[in-house]
A and B are shown apart, each in its own frame.
Chain A
Amino acid sequence: MDPVFIAIQLLNGLQYGLLLFLIASGLTLIFGIMGIINLAHGAMYMIGAYLAYDLTLRTGSFWLALLLAVPVAVVLGLLIERLFLGTLYRRDHLYQVLLTFGLILVLNEAQRIIWGSDVLSVPVPASLNGNIALTGNLQYPVYRLFVAAICLLVAGGIYWIIRHTRLGIVIRAGAVNRDMVEGLGIDVRTLFTLIFSIGVGLAAFAGMLSAPMTSLYPGMGDNILITCFVIVVIGGIGSIKGAFLGSLLIGQAATFGPVLLPALASVIIYLIMAAVLIIKPRGLFA
């Protein structure tokens, strides 16, 4: 392969990986700190995309839609945590898995009732609708670069919060030993609400950002959920750093894998996961 095309594929992989990180980071936080396997994470990604569609249609502006949709998604996360999850913390993990699985069904059905089963799309905002010419016949959409930049910013923001704020200390401590954090007099209940809302909000935000470069259809979040679970397992449960590097790794693997090893296209990310688990059974950064 031509070095130019290798460079372009690297860029493709980076952009995809960064987007995956937005979803995987919330998943790993919720899992690591709250001990909840949030199966509805992908459904929230979908809800984010449909919110972007709906509000873009109503307000006429993608940016305004983004501004409105983020708080809606966070509040939805808050409600789910307060009304449903909150009642199940004392119970076995299985109850929480059942609940979040049920949420997938409810959210998918709600999506169908509100927006229908037809495939929808969101136009790329005019200000970012340009392309950058890369080779004679290939261009790179500016919007994709923009999404990559936003994802990097968010990743930086998360890193800063976790490393340099009091909340970050609590989150890190919570990922290591939840009981000790509680013993130190920190209100774990509020922390849980916060983590869940933010985590779910990030997934929805990823959905909103993806909306203009993907197509919207019922159950669109189910696939991405599996990829993100793989990332969480590779990176180590509860580790943001692990989720970040895992996302970049899977982003590249999902880009180069199908082109270089077409026969393994559908299993490549699982092979990587298996390899990581053999070497480091608890993930790279647990």
Chain B
Amino acid sequence: MKQTRIRKHTRHLLTGLGLFLLASLQPLLAQQNEAGQAAPVKLGLMLPYSGTYAPLGESITNGLKLAIKQNGDQLGGRPVEYVVLDSEADASKAPQNMSRLVKGDKVDVVIGPVHSGVAMGMLKVAKQTGAIMIIPNAGLGAATGQLCMPNVFRTSFSMWQDSYPMGKVAYDRGHRKVVTITWNYAGGKEDIAGFEESFTKAGGEIVKQILVPFPETQFQPYLTDIASIKPDAVYTFFAGAGAVRFVRDYAKVGLKDSVPLLGSGFLTDGNLDAQGEAAEGILTTLHYADGLDSDVDRTFREAYGKAYERELDTYAVQGYDAGMMLVQALDQTDGDSADRDALISALASVKLNSPRGPVTFSKAHHPIQNIYLRQVKGGRNQVIDVASRALEDPARGCRM
């Protein structure tokens, strides 16, 4: 009895001693780390890894990590540590999640989000804290428009930028009366507005604007309505499940043969497997395409194919470019991420030789890039022309 008690005490004592030793060793270990190897650059990834947008989050992460891996897993001579957080594409949790990354984990740069609603929440925190943020997808105009700020960059697109060039394309192809259809939400309306701006400027007329309640995918009544209007063409913005269903229904009711379907590239990007035959021939505009056939693009596609099982998509390119941007900027600052102003001006001066073509950044920190005209051919978004070369987003409302 007595002996067990002693043994127990001993054990406690030993545990305590062990803990004490560990605790006292820790600073020593940390110092070692600092002396032997520089402290890591901390990248906070705030992307959706669950729910509908999970595939996008995965693609962006893949692209980003590939760029940094190709750089020898280092940024400006420092190793890289990823702090990964599932944004769940939930806008209500965005400010809290962003604060956790910035104040709790003290990341150097936040990369995210996919969803524009989440972006709004993140931008609020970015404004308060001055945290550096790179948006690898969310296309809301405001992020580099009314809400623009020095510490926020975007490597993707704006709704306006991807749809504006299509207006001229539609007019040049002889379409005069066009019906537009999209979901009744900010992203859809911004996209349609871009198309409308250039289409009406060229002399075309929007005969009807159809707004479908989000996220309704029962399109039959609208298609019947379109058939009764008999426009020259239909311009549309849908993405994901809605895009798949719209394209299939559009073909199924026979409209595709008499009324050409035009859209922003998100209509067909990543959806071609599910859309199948119904998508063949559709014209879209986007900042990336299949068959660009540049050396950079070819090398990138090969490396991506080797590294990941997932098929390459536009989102992966956006993630890759976010990674390339960090590679260049931190090289320029010799790995210094503490001097925020220096890092921001390094990021702003980045010139990317991207798989999608040359990319530089506007004063509002938005990519100036080519927008391609693509046609679905044999299950690929084949580039057929450059719809607009080095197009800059007007960044309306940005004072910076």
Q: Which chain A residues have a beta carbon within 8 Å of chain B's beta carbons?
A: 1-2, 5, 8-9, 12-13, 15-16, 112, 116-121, 123-124, 131, 133, 135-141, 144, 213-220, 223, 254-256, 258-259, 262, 265-266
Contacts and interface: CB of A to CB of B under 8 A. Distances in A.
Given A5-B224, A9-B224, A215-B217, A117 B274 contact: no
A255 B222 CA distance: 8
A134 B2 CA distance: 96
A8 B224 contact: yes
A118 B215 CA distance: 17
Contact of B274 (A5, A119, A213, A219): A119
A217 B271 CA distance: 12
Interface of B is mostly: helix
B246 to A, nearest CB: 9
Contact of B252 (A1, A131, A216, A220): A131
A259 B258 contact: no
A144 B223 CA distance: 14
B210 A262 contact: yes
Contacts of A8: 224
Nearest to A109: B50
Nearest to B248: A121
Nearest to A4: B228
A90 B51 CA distance: 35
B377 interface: no
B252 A119 contact: no
6 contacts: A16-B220, A137-B259, A139-B252, A215-B241, A223-B215, A266-B184
B248 A259 contact: no
A137 B215 contact: no
A144 to B, nearest CB: 8
A220 B241 contact: yes
B222 A217 contact: no
A215 B52 contact: no
B274 A215 contact: yes
Nearest to A15: B220
B88 to A, nearest CB: 12
B248 A138 contact: no
A52 to B, nearest CB: 14
B218 interface: yes
Contacts of A13: 221
B135 interface: no
B276 interface: yes
Contacts of B52: 117, 217-219
Interface string B210-232: 11110111101111110110100
B207 interface: no
A83 to B, nearest CB: 26
B397 interface: no
A267 B253 CA distance: 27
A119 B56 CA distance: 12
A256 B54 CA distance: 35
Contacts of A259: 221-222, 224-225
Nearest to A135: B227
B161 interface: no
A206 B362 CA distance: 51
Contacts of B274: 118-121, 215
Q: Which 7 A-B pairs have the closest CB atoms?
A: A266-B213, A139-B254, A217-B241, A215-B244, A138-B227, A137-B258, A121-B274
Size range of the interface on B? 35 or more
A8 B222 CA distance: 11
A5 B218 contact: no
B314 interface: no
Given A117-B51, A217-B52, 4 more contacts: A119-B240, A137-B259, A215-B241, A218-B51
Q: Which of A5, A15, A112, A258 has the most CB of B within 10 A?
A: A258
Contacts of A216: 241
B275 interface: yes
A2 B228 contact: yes
Nearest to A133: B254
B55 interface: yes
A118 B55 contact: yes
B263 to A, nearest CB: 16
A140 to B, nearest CB: 7
B255 interface: yes
Given A121-B274, A218-B51, A223-B216, A137 B227 contact: yes
A213 B245 CA distance: 8
Contacts of A120: 274
A215 B245 contact: yes
B224 A12 contact: yes
A275 B293 CA distance: 60
B271 A254 contact: no
B211 A265 contact: yes
Interface string B196-213: 000000000000001111
A12 B244 contact: no
A16 B218 CA distance: 9
B252 A141 contact: yes
Contact of B55 (A117, A215, A220, A254): A117
A56 B218 CA distance: 23
A136 B225 contact: no
A52 B199 CA distance: 42
Given A131-B254, A215-B248, A121 B227 contact: no
B311 to A, nearest CB: 10
A258 B50 contact: no
Contacts of A131: 252-254
A116 B211 CA distance: 29
Interface string B20-47: 0000000000000000000000000000
B254 A137 contact: yes
B255 A137 contact: yes
